[in-house]
Structure 1
Amino acid sequence: MDIERETVVQIVISVIALALFVAATVYVSSTYGTNGGLGPQGGVGIVAAIGLFVVFMLGAGLWLERQNF
């Protein structure tokens, strides 16, 4: 089964983005977690992690669109 190079690059970028997002959420929840919940700073951290994930995926999508495979 042959997989095109473009597909492999898309998979790698998606896995990296997902790993970074999970790492960011785990870091925020372990740093700002209080008795099973998040404090106000933790909420801001989670929103920031989600925002950075969206921006990263937007940038990755634009970069992939402009590549010649």
Structure 2
Amino acid sequence: MEMERETVLEIAVSVGAVVVFVAIIVGIGVTYGGRGLSSQGGVALLAAIAGFVLLMTGVGFFLARRKG
């Protein structure tokens, strides 16, 4: 089964965004971790989640404009 180039691009961009998000979460855990997450770590985690939502929104708009 062959996939179109457009589908492969969509998958690659989406997986790349998720890998960046996971790397940021791991970085926050290493930086602010220990026995528990500090209050600064909690704020950083919240910012990372909000940033991920915005990033995925941007990726969605980018991919939608490429098709349309």
Q: Distance in 2 between matches of 1:15 and 1:28?
A: 20
Q: CA deviation at 1:22?
A: 0.5
Where does residue 23 of structure 2 map in the other structure?
A: 23
Q: Which runs of 5+ in 1 are unaligned?
A: none
Aligned length: 68
Where does residue 3 of structure 1 map in the other structure?
A: 3
RMSD of equivalent CA atoms: 1.3
Runs of 4+ residues deviating >2 angstroms:
none
Alignment of 1:17-56 (within 5 A): 17-35=17-35, 37-56=36-55
Q: CA deviation at 1:31?
A: 0.2
**TM-score under structure 1 normalisation?**
0.90
Q: Which runs of 5+ in 2 are unaligned?
A: none
Residues 31-69 of structure 1: per-residue CA shift (max 9 Å, x gap)? 00131x100000011111111111111001001111148
- Percent identical among aligned pairs is 49
Q: CA deviation at 1:6?
A: 1.6
